[in-house]
Amino acid sequence: MSAMTEASDPRDPLSLHDRLLEATYRCVERFGMGKTTIDDIVKESGISRATIYRQFPGGRDELLLETVGWELANYFNRLADQVRDAPTLAALLQQGLMYARRSIAEHAVLRKMMDTEPERLLPLLTTEAAKSLPFIADFLLPYLRREAEAGRLRPGVDIDRAAEYLARSILSLIGAPGRWDLDDPARVAELVDVELLGGIVRK
Partner 1 sequence: MDFPAGDLSPKATQILDAAITCIGRVGLTKTTLDDVARAAGCARATVYRSFSNKQQLLVALVAREAGALRAAVVREAASCDTLADAITATITTSVEFLGSHPALTFVCAHEPEVLIPYLAFEREDAVLRTAAVLVAPAFTRFLDDAEATRLGEWIARITLSYLFSPSENFDIGDDVQVRALVDDFVVPGFVKSEGVSR
Q: Smallest distance from the beta carbon of 117 to partner 1, in angstroms?
A: 12
Task: Give the helix ranges, DSSP H, for the chain.
Answer: 2-6, 14-31, 38-45, 49-55, 59-83, 89-105, 108-116, 118-131, 133-149, 159-175, 185-191
In the complex with partner 1, the residue whose CB is nearer, 39 or 158, is: 158
Q: Smallest distance from the beta carbon of 137 to partner 1, in angstroms?
A: 11
In the complex with partner 1, the residue whose CB is nearer, 91 or 157, is: 157
Reduced to 3 states, what is the DSSP secondary structure of residue 47?
coil
In the complex with partner 1, the residue whose CB is nearer, 123 or 185, is: 123
Interacting residues with partner 1 between 115 and 154 (CB under 8 A): 118-119, 122-123, 125-126, 130, 133, 154
Q: Smallest distance from the beta carbon of 60 to partner 1, in angstroms?
A: 18
For residue 106, state whether it binds partner 1 (rule: CB under 8 A). no
* Site map 157..176 versus partner 1, x via CB under 8 A: xx--xx-xx--xx-xxx-xx
In the complex with partner 1, the residue whose CB is nearer, 38 or 110, is: 110
In the complex with partner 1, the residue whose CB is nearer, 108 or 176, is: 176
Q: What residue type is assigned to position 113 of the chain?
A: M
Measured in degrees and rounded to the nearest 5, phi and psi for residue 31 equal -110, -15
Distance CA 40, CA 26 (A): 10
- Sequence-ordered list of residues with C-beta below 8 angstroms from that of 182, at least 6 positions apart, any chain: 97, 98, 100, 101, 173, 188
Neighbour-count burial of 140, counting CB atoms closer than 10 A to its CB (0-12 exposed, 13-18 middle, 19+ buried): buried
Residues at the contact surface with partner 1, assessed by CB under 8 A? 114, 118-119, 122-123, 125-126, 130, 133, 154, 156-158, 161-162, 164-165, 168-169, 171-173, 175-179, 193-200, 203
